[in-house]
Amino acid sequence: MTALSGLTVIETAERVCGEWTGRLLADFGAQVIKVERPGGSPTRRFGPHVAGESTLFAYCNTGKKSVVLDLASDAGRSALQALLARADALIDDRDTAGAAALGLDPETLRGAHPGLVHCHIAPLGADTPPEWAHAKPIAIAATGGWAWHTPSESRPQDPPLMGAGRFMPDYDTGLDAAIATAAALLRKRRCADPASAGQSIAISEVAVQLSRADVVMGRVLAGDDEPGHSRRRYDMGGPGDVFACADGHVHLVMMTRAHWAGLRSLMDEPAWCAEFPDDWLEFHCTPERVARFREAFRAWIAGQQRNPVSEQAQKLGVPLVPVNTARDLFENAQYRHRGYFQSLTDPTLGTQLYPGVPYRMTASPVRLSRAAPAPDADRGEIIPGVMPEVTP
């Protein structure tokens, strides 16, 4: 028995944000039924591909079941309504007009299925204007403010970049959407009349990005910084950076007197450290001192092995970490100890290791149950006799 066992979620999503929402709910035991268009979800065509299969789709859709419905037809829409009648939640990320045309707008759903938790994801929420309906993740990141200060410490003439990964805004949004959906399902379970205790959730992808800027906003509200157009205003300051070492790279974050004391101990108090006052990070962190520190530290760290020096630094309270490659992650002893990567067998991809989740729950541990489904793989179980098959 897992946390969401016994709950049924219908997912009509066709983008990474909605599919990731469904994946997170499936991780906790919900039966997530993915409704796909004829030809399959558009994300099945997103790269990279292995043996002709999208690894992105495989990652975002583990644990789900699939049925293909032609929602342009009366029979397809009727079958979807039959699924919703026995579902606890619906995850949708199509544009507002498209959802309304299918009867998936909040008003219609509340009338037809008053007990349904409906989570709708759109670039600017339920009121997204038509010209924003199909905004790409890079547009979401830019509009939400994150592209403005990536990469960190950019020169004024450098163009904004998207940051970490082409679908990072989708994963951020999917996480918030899953949390909101789970909260609504918990409320429904506690209500005296669950059959009428559904609710609509409108997720704004841009607002999710804004919420991730809480550190920057907090600094401004606290008076530690002034709002303005300089991109450097959004950097955390300090001499931290990525540095090359003997066998790769390490990332240093150093902002307090304690960090500086730990780092001096790590380096066995080299003579150049005497140039810096003990509180320089907090009160005297000038561009000249930052440049001098980086010059001297770069020469020292170049002769160190990244894993041993990072481990030693962390024991001294210094936030120094190795910059890992994908291979490093699979070989990481801590990830292996926690069972983070789990094995699943896919008919096409074969047996592969899949990323798990970063939390361990004693009463309802997450166990990846099945690989992402083939299109229409579960028709016989989900809608036997409801309608004729549609070409996947």
**Domain-wise residue ranges, the chain:** 8-211+339-382, 241-325
Can you give the pLDDT at residue 388? 47
List, for residues 52-70, the tens digit of each pLDDT value.
Answer: 999 999 999 999 999 999 9
Residue pointed to by tokens 């904004």: 160
Task: Name the E strands within 211-319.
Answer: 241-245, 248-252
Task: Give residue 81's pLDDT.
Answer: 96
pLDDT of amino acid 113: 97
Tell the CATH topology of 241-325. Answer: formyl-coa transferase, domain 3 (3.30.1540)
Question: What is d(CA 7, CA 184) in angstroms, rounded to the nearest whole number?
Answer: 12
pLDDT score of 277 more than 90:
yes
Read off the pLDDT of each residue in 316-322 and give the average, rounded to a whole number. 97
- Fold adopted by 8-211+339-382: Rossmann fold (3.40.50)
> pTM of this prediction?
0.88
Query: What CA–CA distance (Å, rounded) separates 259 from 263?
Result: 6
Separation between Cα atoms, residue 123 and residue 204, nearest integer Å:
5
- Tens of pLDDT, residue by residue over 195-217, are 999 999 999 999 999 888 766 67
Q: In which region does residue 145 sit, left (phi positive, over 0), alpha (psi from -120 to 50) or beta (all else)?
A: left
Mean pLDDT is lowest, of 60-64, 221-225, 320-324, for 221-225
- pLDDT of residue 8 exceeding 50, the answer is yes
- Please, are residues 79 and 383 in contact by the beta-carbon 8 Å criterion? yes
Would you state the structure tokens that stand for residue 326, as one six-digit string? 């994908």
Tokens encoding 149: 């200060």
What's the average model confidence in pLDDT over 299-304? Answer: 98
Structure tokens at 128: 């997204």
User: Half-sphere exposure (CA, 13 Å, Cβ side) for 86?
Assistant: 10
